Amino acid sequence: MGPGTEGVMMAPESTATEKTPEESLRETMPAPILETRDLSIFYGKNEAVKKVSLPVPERRITAIIGPSGCGKSTLLRALNRMNEFIADVRMEGEVLYRGHNLYGKNVDPVEVRARIGMVFQKPNPFPKTIFQNVAWGPHINGLVPRRDLPELVERSLRQAGLWDEVKERLGESGLSLSGGQQQRLCIARALAMQPEIILMDEPASALDPVSTARIEDLLFELRERYTIVIVTHNMQQAARVSDYTAFMDLGVMEEFGETDQVFTRPRHERTEDYVTGRFG
Amino acid sequence: MATAPATADLAFAKKRRLGEGGIKAVLFVCALLSIFTTAGIILVLARESWTFFREIPLPDFLFGTRWTPLLVPRSYGVLPLLGGTAMIVIGSALVAVPVGLASAIYLSEYASERVRGIVKPILEILAGVPTVVYGYFALTSVTPLLRAVIPATNIFNAASAAVVVGIMILPTVASLCDDALRAVPRSLREAGFALGATRHEVATQVVVPGALSGIIASFILAASRAFGETMAVTLAAGATPKLTLNPLESIQTITAYIVQVSLGDTPAGGVEYKTIFAVGALLFVITLGMNVVANRVLRRYQEVYE
Amino acid sequence: MTASEWRGVPNLVRRHRQSLWLRRLFKALTWLGVVLLAILLYRIARQGAGWVDWDFLTSFPSRFPVRAGIKSALAGTIWLIGLTALISIPVGVAAAVYLEEFSRPGRLKTFIEINIANLAGVPSIVYGILGLAIFVRGIALGRSVLAGALTMSLLILPVIIIAAREAIKAVPQSLRQGAMALGATRWQTVRHHVLPGALPGILTGVILALSRAIGETAPLIMIGALSYVAFVPEGPMDGFTALPIQIFNWTSRPQQEFHGLAAGGIIVLLVVLLLMNAAAVAIRHRFQRRR
């Protein structure tokens, strides 16, 4: 069953035309490349994420919105096994990539992270040159032979919309760029790994409005080739940028659906309260 | 009615302010003492060295290869002492740098808080052991061991002293490198892991380069301490100034020479007495230079993480 | 996850193996330091324990190892550290107070701070040379405890100043502002509010500085602390010896028994240091908990 709390069961005799909202959604939505099933994440005794089943449709942008502390970042980090660096964290449920559980016994978390990229809230380029920043990931993972690295770097920087600004100074430190440029560098860095999925944790929240707009434009371009999951506390951003939206509150995923529907015809009261600004 | 209390107040305030001024002056003089100390060191060393270098030409001192100020024929070339000191510094660095840096990496990138809580205090204890104890240890434990393994080893040799000085400065390296590594923000490590790197790749290719200025400064500071180390080398390295590349031989460092002369009966005012100051001046200048370089490395190249 | 589901990362097995070996290497080198300390303490305990008894503590040094003891060395060390504390603590704390509470940022202040930082890194033997020239010869104090204490004070002054400054800095601004708002002068604020608040930190720093002074040998050799002293100092102008000097002297002798004596002396020295450091840690803990 999809998200939502009604739990409508289809009676066998009902006609084929009567579909639940969840089922129609499943029909029109591209198949999820990634999804969680009853995922719960505990920090010690605190249950930060409660039985969330989130589908991430392929080659679409899925936004996760919700008030502070609702667990959206925690949920995001579970998708590429970045939660494991926190002591005392425990998980129940599954995270499935094309049907295979990423937390299965024989799965190497390092490989998961090589395949699912992440961009963080505050730009965090390495104290290396711009070139090295983008090339390091593919290099240590042996994705391309050394001589092909310059081409990969250029391609990634172009995709991130940064190439023209830095092509003359690839040898300068990544830290010498402005905040918006640094974030695009981090995006290029993630793209260089040629992932299928990119996770973004509030990528524009530390940036000025102009840089934010550039990043949002970038997302539109990337959408054709990558599946993107973006966590944001900026509702307008989610409404502008994403195809599907999940609303979380206090660890529970209250609603999931097409962005248009979630914002204009939310099915749950809590969702409506949030998107109309009554709280959060 | 209103005026009398006012003047009384003013008089009291004035007395308070005078007393305050006096106290401030005393405190100021105490703070100035540091300048006087530095001035004292420079003056003392410079004055005696000046008269020394009137008799012994500076190039003979700096580039001469025989140091026999106490024996006839007298020779005042300081290179053997510098060579001996250099052997100790290099040898101790060979011990302290890998072990210290590795410890710092382990403590900051791998170890749990519990392990840190055990190992860090132990390193501090190592740092607090007096140097004469290390000298004793070198002479009575390290040298016999060395001689058992390599019988050609002299009873006094540079290697034992270097090993022990290395142990002595290893906590400095470990502690300063640990600070430098921990100053690298967590977000940088996360970026590394998020790209599918293993823990050692993040530690050695992201964190260490991100703390490089602090790490290098720690090496220089540790070397400076090894340069000025006295008791361990006096007890274990020997009293024979000579230029050699063999660490199993007996040598003499600058500091050990100063001790040797002080223990003997050299009359004040003679050239032999003045060698203390000439050699001491060299020691002071070199260690000061190393400390200044280390601080400059820190200031100019320190990575800025907001 | 099979490689067919997504493009496998080809070199993971090798990298994981590297990671494991590197981790083992780092861990081993870390514990090496601990092991070395254990060996050091063990050897010294073995070599010296047999020599430490009441006679050892109450006899003067002698040509005959069996009759030798550290009485004069202990007495000298007590005199030396006592005088050093009396001189260096007030001066060091005063300098720290000036720098933190009274001085204004400027070239002089920076110059003083640079000096202190550099002095902290000067080898101790250079302080010995300074002490020889100024205290022993210059103002003609001779080879006395006073000359030794003055030299030691100069040596540990930077350490005390730096530690005291940290302790004073840690006192919250609100405390100062509260006092000054009541009309207190700078000094009154410092004396009645800041210093008491900084006291635990200052005390800890002082104890650590003094424990460094106790173990220092080179400066004492320079100013001529004697090695064969069969008397206890009775005044600041008397000659003296000290525990590290005695240890040095015994270690320098070729005979095995003197090495045993030296080890005994080291045990006493280490015990004293242990007690001092334990006191410093206890103070730090007790006052941290109170906050």
pLDDT band at B221 (very low <50, low <70, confident <90, very high): very high
Opening angle at CA C193, ends C187 and C196, nearest 5: 110
List the structure tokens of C41.
């303490």
Least confident stretch, A4-8, A229-233, B74-78: A4-8
Confidence at residue A149, expressed as pLDDT on a 0 to 100 scale: 95
Is B14 a residue whose pLDDT tops 90?
Answer: no
Percent of chain C at pLDDT exceeding 70? 95
Q: Are the C-beta atoms of residues A56 and A32 closer than 8 Å to each other?
A: yes
Summarize pLDDT for A161-216 with one digit per residue, the tens. Answer: 999 999 999 999 999 999 999 999 999 999 999 999 999 999 988 899 999 999 99
Residue-level pLDDT at C160? 96
Homologous superfamily of the B79-304 domain (CATH): MetI-like (1.10.3720.10)
- Please judge whether A106 and C1 are an interchain contact, meaning their C-beta atoms are less than 8 angstroms apart: yes
**Residue B297 CB partners (closer than 8 Å, separation 6+):** B213, B216, B217, B220
Report the residue of C4, C5, C7, C9 to disrupt the A interface, i.e. the one with the largest count of A CBs within 10 Å.
C9
Mean pLDDT value across chain A: 88
Chains with ≥3 CB–CB distances under 8 Å to A: B, C
For residue B238, CA distances in Å to B87, B235, B251 come to 13, 7, 5
Chain A residues interacting with chain B (CB cutoff of 8 angstroms): 80, 82, 85, 110-115, 117-118, 120, 122, 124-128, 136-137, 140-141, 175, 186, 189-190, 193
The pLDDT of B129-141, averaged and rounded, is 94
Q: What is the ipTM of this complex?
A: 0.90
pLDDT at B282: 95
- A115: which chain C residues are within 8 Å (Cβ-Cβ)? 6-7, 9
How far is it, in rounded angstroms, from Cα B23 to Cα B31?
13
Higher model confidence: residue C232 or residue A248?
A248
At C176-222, the pLDDT tens digits run 888 888 888 888 888 888 998 899 899 999 999 999 999 999 999 99
* DSSP letters spanning C228-282: S--S---STTS----HHHHHHHHHHSSSHHHHHHHHHHHHHHHHHHHHHHHHHHH
Its pTM stands at 0.88
How far does the CA of residue A42 sit from the closest CA of chain B (Å)? 20
Of the pLDDT bands very low, low, confident and very high (cuts 50, 70, 90), residue A5 is very low
For residue B36, is pLDDT > 90? yes
State the Cα–Cα distance between residues C159 and C152, nearest whole angstrom.
Answer: 12
Q: Cβ neighbours of residue C185 under 8 Å, at least 6 residues apart?
A: B16, B17, B20
pLDDT of C51 reads 86
- Tell me the shortest Cα–Cα distance from B104 to chain A, in angstroms: 19
Q: Kindly state the average pLDDT of the residues A253-259.
A: 92
For residue B281, pLDDT beyond 60: yes
Q: How far apart are CA C226 and CA C73, in angstroms?
A: 10
Token output for B197? 């790197």
**Residue in C6, C11, C15 to test binding to A, most A beta-carbons within 10 Å:** C6
Domain residue extents for chain B? 3-55, 79-304
What mean pLDDT do residues A82-99 have?
90
Residue A279 pLDDT? 76
Q: Measure in Å the smallest separation between the Cα of C93 and chain B Cα atoms.
A: 9
C59-115 pLDDT tens trace: 888 888 877 888 888 999 999 999 999 999 999 999 999 999 888 899 999 999 999
Long-range contacts (CB closer than 8 Å, 24 or more residues apart) made by B70-78: B70/B261, B70/B264, B70/B266, B70/B272, B74/B271, B76/B275, B78/B254, B78/B278, B78/B279, B78/B282
CB contact under 8 A, C11 and A142: yes
Place of tokens 């190249």: B301
pLDDT at residue number B9: 61
Subunits next to B (3 or more Cβ pairs <8 Å) are A, C
Q: How far is C88 from chain B (nearest CA, A)?
A: 10
Of the pLDDT bands very low, low, confident and very high (cuts 50, 70, 90), residue C289 is low
Which among C1, C9, C11 is the nearest to A100, CB-wise? C1
- pLDDT beyond 70 at B12: no
What's the rounded Cα separation, in Å, for the pair B1 and A145?
Answer: 96
pLDDT tens digits, one per residue of A108-159: 999 999 999 999 999 999 999 999 999 999 999 999 999 999 999 999 999 9
Provide the pLDDT for residue B303: 72
Residues of C with CB below 8 A from B224's CB?
121
Which helix (H) or strand (E) is A226 found in, with range? none
| Shortest alpha-carbon distance between residue C99 and chain B (Å) | 7
Q: How many C-alpha atoms does B164 have within 13 Å on its Cβ side?
A: 33
Return the bridge partners of A43, or none.
Answer: A46, A89
Nearest Cα neighbor of A116 from A102, A126, A128, A106 is A102
Given an 8 Å threshold on Cβ–Cβ distance, is A124 in contact with B187?
A: yes
Check: CB of residue C193 under 8 Å from CB of residue C179: yes
**Is a pLDDT exceeding 60 seen at residue A267?**
yes
Query: What pLDDT sits at residue C218?
Result: 94
Contacts of A85 in chain B (CB under 8 A): 190, 193
Higher pLDDT: B10 or B20? It is: B20
CB spacing of C1 vs A114 below 8 angstroms: no
Average pLDDT over residues B48-56: 90
Classify burial at C191, counting beta carbons within 10 Å of its beta carbon; exposed 0-12, middle 13-18, buried 19 or more.
Answer: middle
Residues ≥6 apart with Cβ < 8 Å to B25: none
What pLDDT digit, counting tens, does each position of C114-136 carry? 999 999 999 999 999 999 999 98
Low-confidence winner among A162-171, B7-16, B113-122, C273-282 (lowest mean pLDDT): B7-16
Residue B179 has pLDDT above 90, yes or no: yes
Candidates C1, C7, C11; nearest CB to A107: C1
Sign of the torsion formed by the C-alpha atoms of C190, C196, C198 and C201: positive
User: Does residue B192 register a pLDDT over 50?
Assistant: yes
Question: Is the pLDDT assigned to residue A236 strictly greater than 60?
Answer: yes
Question: For the residues of A41-75, what is the DSSP string, one character each?
Answer: EEETTEEEEEEE--EEETTSEEEEE-STTSSHHHH
At residue B10, the pLDDT reads 61
For chain C, the first-to-last Cα distance in angstroms comes to 53
Residue C2 pLDDT = 43
Residue B190 is nearest to which of A82, A137, A175, comparing CB atoms? A82
Q: Which amino acid, one-letter code, is at C164?
A: A
Instruction: Tell me the nearest-neighbour CA distance from C106 into chain B, angstroms.
Output: 14
Mean pLDDT of A210-232: 91
Read off the pLDDT of residues A13-58 as tens digits, 9 standing for 90 and up: 545 566 677 777 878 888 899 999 999 999 988 999 999 999 999 9
Asked if the model's pLDDT at residue B133 lies above 80, the reply is yes
